[in-house]
Amino acid sequence: MYTFDQPLGRALSVAAGSPAVVCQDRRRTYAELGSRCRRLAGAMRKLGVAPHDRVGVIALNSDRYLELYLGLPAAGYVLVPVNSRLAPAEMRAILADAGVSVLFADSDYPGAAGVGHVLRMPDDYEDLIAAADEVPLGDGVTEDDLAALFYTSGTTGAAKGAMHTHRSLVSSALHFMATWPFDQQTRWLVASPMFHTGGIIATLATVWAGGTHVIMPRFDPDLAIDLIEREAVTHTLLVPTMLAATASAQLARPRNVSSLRYLSHGASPISAETLRRARQAFPGAELLHVYGTTETTPITTLLPHEERLLDTPLIRSCGQPAVGVEVRVVDQSQDEVPPGAVGEIAVRSPSVMAGYWQKPQSTAEVMRGDWYLTGDLGYRDEDSYLYLVDRVKDMIVSGGENIYSTEVEDALATHHAVEEVAVFGVPDPRWGEVVYAVVFGRVQVEPDELVAHCREQIAGFKVPRCVELRTEPLPKSAAGKILKRDLREPHWAGRQTQVSGG
């Protein structure tokens, strides 16, 4: 069955002497990695941690993080990776919500104060491993057991723990392997944080194939290129800002990046300009757009070979449903809408989460039978290429017209003075909602000028009724996303938001 011990077991069987992981000056074979994972399991048993207990980790990426990610679920525990950039109160809330009793941390995080047993990395961790006996992995573990809780970042209220089973994460690896080749020659660069599903998107696939992880503790574009060159990296995933920075660094000082054949990006929209520069900087690489969510592990739709699509309209799409994943665009009655019509994106797959940890109400809000409602609005074409439009909760309904906040934001962003922008609806007695924009300018500009600029580009009913200018950058989440909720909230104080999903 599809449990975490399977990929590791195969790697130990077919590639025990091959390099499993490279991180800074540490290199380990699969035999070494396997032994350390089995000793980690032994250590947890010795500590009295019971099967199904939640074990937290707050850390930068490392080879030890990889061991925790592979070893703890394989030993029957539930891994809780926590974003190391969260505020103490946010960390505390997550650790309490998950009931974490044992935590691995690579620094003295104030938010970890409430946890009974904190083990510091590397020292406590290495002591633990050194003193432990090896315990076999996978015993008593079934594919429907929880493997990990991934907390969704808090742009939509209190963080919720997406429950992923062994099967959801292992089947997601198979779905990725059905699109991209993984074998013993694969060298995957881990550049995104491993506490997000994007950071571990290829972990089980790489291990299953007996390939190598090349792990960066923290992202730096020049270091990324040096590692690609030195370690002959073949595959990676970068978020768009990382991809833009890495492409620029390579174009400024070219190194030998010919080993890089598979270059994916995801987590947020990407500009055609960034893709073009990526193509120029990494001419030997296939470009792949991955769309997905924490709840979908994340592989949902894929747009392969973007480098061949640069001059076609398809480049704006986030691709077609991955093998193993069903995607629908539905209306509020959960009926499919025809190609071209905007609706909410719904996903069904063995890779979808089992629900939110101890939040049946939140689970019920997003699950319709086996279908997960992403909260993303979009449409598909005749061949099921998916185009994202907006978040459901960011759509504005004004005088019966649907207005996508992103469309207005895009119009404002084309003005040279606009550095950051957020658009949302505010209550209005006549229209229900009207469009409201908050702008942080890079130079002085008058609201009237921005309104006039919009008028040239979008329909009158979409033009902001009000443009509020800020002298400071807009508030952002730990993941760097603008917290539109915080900007919108004061306008709706004491009222029920009219759009669902909030």
- Which residues of this chain interact with a copy of itself, rule CB under 8 A? 1-2, 6, 9-10, 13-17, 174-175, 177-178, 181-183, 208-209, 304, 320-321, 323-324, 326-327, 350, 370, 382-384
Between the CA atoms of 405, 407, 408 and 413, what dihedral angle is there, to the nearest 10 degrees? 120
Q: Which is nearer to a copy of itself, 270 or 325 (CB)?
A: 325
Distance between CA atoms of 159 and 157, rounded to whole angstroms? 6
Tokens at residue 170, please?
Answer: 């292992």
Q: Rounded to the nearest whole angstrom, what is the least distance from the CB of residue 147 to a copy of itself in the complex?
A: 17
Nearer to a copy of itself, 108 or 382 (CB): 382
Half-sphere exposure of 80 (CA within 13 A, CB side): 28
The answer to whether 140 and 121 are in contact (CB under 8 A) is no
- Least distance CB 238 / a copy of itself (angstroms): 23
* Smallest distance, a copy of itself to C-beta of residue 327, A: 8
Contacting residues for 339 by C-beta, under 8 A, at least 6 apart = 379, 380, 381, 382
**Separation of alpha carbons 309 and 319, rounded Å:** 11
- Which two tokens mark 190? 């881990």
Q: Would you state the structure tokens that stand for residue 328, as one six-digit string?
A: 């629908």
Q: How far is the CB of 270 from a copy of itself (least distance, A)?
A: 22
CB-facing half-sphere around the CA of 304: CA atoms within 13 A: 12
Cβ closest to a copy of itself, residue 181 vs residue 217: 181
Strands (DSSP E) contained in 259-300 are: 262-266, 286-291
C-beta of 89: minimal distance to a copy of itself in Å?
40
Q: How many CB atoms lie within 10 A of CB 300?
A: 30
Of 227, 202, 206, give the one whose Cα is nearest residue 217: 227
Cβ-based burial of 459 (10 A; exposed 0-12, middle 13-18, buried ≥19):
exposed
| 324, two tokens | 């193993």
Per-residue tokens: 132: 């432990």
The candidate with the shortest Cα–Cα distance to 20, out of 68, 65, 73, 63, is 63
CB of 206 to a copy of itself, least distance (A): 12
User: CB of 323: closest distance to a copy of itself in angstroms?
Assistant: 5
CB atoms near residue 257 (< 10 Å): 20
Instruction: Tell me: cis bond preceding 298? Omega within 30 of 0 counts.
Output: yes
Cβ of residue 217: shortest distance to a copy of itself, in angstroms?
29
Decide whether 149 or 173 has the Cβ nearer to a copy of itself. 173
- Residue 181 or 427 having the CB closest to a copy of itself: 181
In 80-232, which ranges are continuous DSSP H helix? 88-98, 123-131, 166-177, 203-209, 221-230
Minimum CB distance to a copy of itself, residue 399 (Å): 35
Which tokens hold the place of 483? 């917290």
Rounded to whole angstroms, how far apart are CA atoms 274 and 190? 20
Nearest CB to a copy of itself, comparing residues 125 and 385: 385
Q: Give min distance, CB of 35 to a copy of itself, in A.
A: 16
Nearer to a copy of itself (CB atom), residue 60 or residue 342 = 342
What phi and psi values does residue 269 have, to the nearest 5 degrees? -60, 155
Comparing CB distances to a copy of itself, the nearer of 133 and 183 is 183
CB of 444 to a copy of itself, least distance (A): 49
Closer CB to a copy of itself, 95 or 173, in the complex: 173
Closest to a copy of itself by CB, 77 or 208: 208
116 touches 136 (CB < 8 A): no
In whole angstroms, the minimum distance from the beta carbon of 166 to a copy of itself comes to: 12
Question: What tokens does 173 get?
Answer: 């690896």
Task: Compare residues 183 and 446 and give the one whose CB is closer to a copy of itself.
Answer: 183
Cβ proximity to a copy of itself: between 99 and 324 the closer is 324
- Which residues face 321 on adjacent strands? 301
- CA-nearest of 326, 301, 329, 328 to 316 is 301
